[in-house]
Structure 1
């Protein structure tokens, strides 16, 4: 299993991400456009997730369902990362900007926050407070 991490440029919150995932749709699932097809596609499709960076913080992940080739508006070939509609919040972690996407090894991925039932109570905090604590390296 291998994950992918990608910036959600101009997306300040999980709510805005949910709205964005309405289009494009592939077979009833959200799709994230990118330029290149992962060379390690078999590993990504073996239970990997797409981790999203918003405003300098890794905030969530979506399980990857598939990878589809597509035609971009400029006529070049691109890739759609087909993801589950389920947006899973993760423990916020600062991340510097980068272009495109990167592989993210499972051992380096932030843990899920779950359904608000964590032992430390982090998931029960408001999203903005979680973000601020993570920026201060307190969580």
Structure 2
């Protein structure tokens, strides 16, 4: 089974904000993938790239994921080792799951990862906030 990463999304306050950030980065870079840069290189690369995803925590809840495509270590212009996590640009919404704040990223075992969101769809006519609240209550 694939191993996943868990990461706080700093800046975006909603999944829509994160989608906008991804779209803007792709537009500016001209790339067909997006990335997240981090200081630490995951040691369990092969497990992560065997179908793993990065799960995003937004405002204290895991609520979306992106498939990990590659992990590229590099040294920046200051001589500091860094890592670029290459990601599929498609953001998949997940069932919401509360998560306390933490620094950096964490490994997330497959059996601990929330399922993809299978509730109401975007075209159901409900406002996003209402859909999220109903999901939080377990009604979706």
Same fold, TM exceeding 0.5? Answer: yes
Structure 1 residues 27 and 42: alpha-carbon distance in aligned structure 2, compared to 1, 3 A threshold:
farther
CA RMSD, aligned part only?
Answer: 2.4
- Map 1:6-21; keep pairs closer than 5 Å: 6-21=7-22
Partner of 2:84: 80
- Contact persistence 2:60–2:98 (CA under 8 A): yes
- Structure 1 gaps of 5+ residues are none
Partner of 1:23: 25
Structure 1 residues 100 and 130: alpha-carbon distance in aligned structure 2, compared to 1, 3 A threshold:
farther
Q: What is the CA–CA distance in structure 2 between the aligned matches of 1:110 and 1:38, rounded to whole Å?
A: 21
The offset of 1:131, in angstroms, is 4.1
Q: What is the CA–CA distance in structure 1 between the aligned matches of 2:72 and 2:104, rounded to whole Å?
A: 16
Structure 1 residues 18 and 49: alpha-carbon distance in aligned structure 2, compared to 1, 3 A threshold:
same
Which structure has the highest helix share of the two? 2
- Contact persistence 1:113–1:122 (CA under 8 A): no
- Picking from 34, 39, 42, the partner of 1:35 is 39
Range with greater deviation from structure 2 (13-22 or 47-56):
13-22
Q: What is the CA–CA distance in structure 1 between the aligned matches of 2:25 and 2:129, rounded to whole Å?
A: 26
| TM-score, length-scaled by structure 2 | 0.81
